A and B are shown apart, each in its own frame.
Chain A
Amino acid sequence: MSSLIESDNNPMTTGCPSGAITGTESFRELLETAPDAIVIVDRGGRIAFVNSQTEKLFGYDRSELLGRNVDILMPDRFRGEQAGRSNPFLDESGVRPIDAAFDLHGLRRDGSEFPADIGLSALESENGILVIASIRDITERKHFDESLREKILELERANLAKDHFLAGMSHELRTPLNAIIGFTGTMLMRLPGPLTAAQEKQLRIIQTSAKHLLSLINDLLDLAKIESGKVKSNPEPFVCQEAIREVAETLRPMAEQKGLGLDIELPRDDIVIETDRRAFVQILINLANNAVKFTSQGKISIELSRRHENGNTMVDVSVLDTGIGIKPEDQAKLFRAFTQVNAAANRPSEGTGLGLYLCQKLASLIGGHIDVRSEFGAGSTFTLSLPSKTSG
């Protein structure tokens, strides 16, 4: 009979049930190579076996442990009587999962403690049931958990600080713009008195620049909100035709001012789409606004159609213009932030350089995308494609 326990020269082991454990050398080796400290305990709570991980973990020599009560490996508060419950090292009711219900600790020889996970299982032996406890030092894991929790809190705080910063920034930028746009306006309204042609021209430049700055601020804030995941899509069913008429009416004065036509070509039967109406309208206003901006003669058309793709019904809204068009090599750059594709004349273009970038972000937020087809010099078509029902 080979013993599991090296009891060679240890008086403490005399009388302990070590000899009763029938095992093989390979079983012993198996326990030796386990990554955890393994302690086998008899019904009386006496230690019958420890592997070398146990020595390392608790700082005892094997000889100091064998035959001793297992209580010496745990702080007072966990010991059976004081804790008012069964000894956690001994509760052999089947295989216990690693227990997170209460914080277990191991007690080292030097009196220091470490947080531990303890797995228990029962082992049948000739002398009755023994309990195998595998003990793992989870100091490091606890440490990771803690720093992870701290990191999450830190991120939440940073995110809050960013929101706060954006709101403050928006407020602080708008306040001086209020005076600039406001008093430029009062002068252009000639409230303080008549204007010379040159004064009027220069005031219009201030007004346009200030309004440009304002749209830049608005776009940036919109973008920051979308990127932080703050903008939620609120799908609701609505008739596409109605929303498109609304967009056309918003843009019509601007188009007419430039002498451009604005046509809408809508199917007679209502097309109902279920998506975020505000995002839908905002995208189309931006696309149509661009079309008007980059077209000097001809017309803008908005078209609506429906098609089937992979069993889904897709709705396409296209904004067509007869403007300057976009070179093929420039088309890919269109949807990037702050890249404006300039016409051959290289004239300074209006807009913030964020419009299409924002549109594409909004489109993907509502499950769609925007495509462009364009012939340089002949005009462009921007198409918003959306599933007629937003999934999820």
Chain B
Amino acid sequence: MPARILLIEDNPDSMDLMAYLLEAYGHVTLAARDGEAGVEIARRELPDLIICDIQLPKLDGYGVIRELRRRTDLRNIPVVAVTAFAMAGDCDALLAAGFDGYLSKPIEPESFVGQLERFLPNYLRSNSLGFDFDRPEDAQHERPEHS
């Protein structure tokens, strides 16, 4: 069963890359280009997982996580920060702010989806379809054309 994953990301290339990878593994993605839109879509769609950039227009990643954690209906959705802030201390600060996980950019495309799926329940992971995408041989598996 595919997961519904919300991407909050203002850089169009990074958005395309993450959406492409997640969809290639069968997931459904929702896109928000700024923090406020991200919170709004999260509230409306109640996704299974939220991936959030930190430097964002209108409301930054810290603002987003504050909003999400404040609302009882959104509090339990896992949120992973995927950010180019990769200096020492950035990771600790993000986890302290309430993010469930942290991945630094550049992402590793081979392991990206597997790393995110750790935050999903088993039945929503792509390897429940029969592949273990953390295994390089399966990650190399030819996928149907991305639509």
Contacts and interface: CB of A to CB of B under 8 A. Distances in A.
Contacts of A182: 14, 17, 21, 106-107, 109
B72 to A, nearest CB: 33
Interface in A140-184: 166-167, 170-172, 174-184
A179 B13 CA distance: 6
Interface of A: 166-167, 170-172, 174-186, 189-194, 210, 214, 221, 225
Contacts, number: 79
B107 A192 contact: no
**Quick one: which of B14, B17, B109 has the most chain A CB within 10 A?**
B109
B110 interface: yes
A179 B109 contact: no
Contact of B106 (A181, A190, A193, A194): A181
A175 B105 contact: yes
Nearest to A181: B106
A192 B109 CA distance: 13
B146 A191 contact: yes
Interface in B116-147: 139-140, 142-143, 145-146
A185 B106 CA distance: 11
B24 A178 contact: no
Contacts of A194: 142
Contacts of A175: 11, 14, 84, 105
Ranked 9 nearest A-B pairs via Cβ: A185-B109, A174-B84, A179-B13, A182-B17, A178-B105, A178-B106, A181-B106, A171-B84, A177-B106
Given A175-B11, A190-B140, A167 B145 contact: no
> SS class of chain A's interface: helix, strand, loop or mixed?
helix
B96 interface: no
30 contacts: A170-B84, A171-B84, A171-B85, A174-B84, A174-B105, A174-B106, A175-B11, A176-B13, A177-B105, A178-B17, A178-B105, A181-B106, A182-B106, A182-B107, A183-B17, A185-B109, A186-B20, A186-B21, A189-B109, A189-B140, A189-B143, A190-B143, A191-B21, A191-B143, A192-B146, A193-B142, A193-B145, A194-B142, A210-B106, A221-B87
Contact of B85 (A167, A191, A214): A167
Given A178-B11, A182-B107, A189-B143, 10 more contacts: A166-B87, A170-B87, A174-B84, A178-B106, A179-B13, A179-B17, A186-B21, A186-B109, A189-B139, A190-B143
A165 B14 CA distance: 22
Interface in B79-109: 84-88, 104-109
B55 interface: yes
A96 B84 CA distance: 61
A58 to B, nearest CB: 58
B106 A186 contact: no
Contacts of B106: 174, 177-178, 180-182, 210, 214
Interface in B51-88: 55, 84-88
B86 A174 contact: yes
A176 B105 CA distance: 9
**Quick one: which of A171, A177, A183, A194 has the most chain B CB within 10 A?**
A171
A174 B106 CA distance: 6
A190 B139 CA distance: 9
Interface string B1-34: 0000000000101100100110010000000000
B87 A174 contact: no
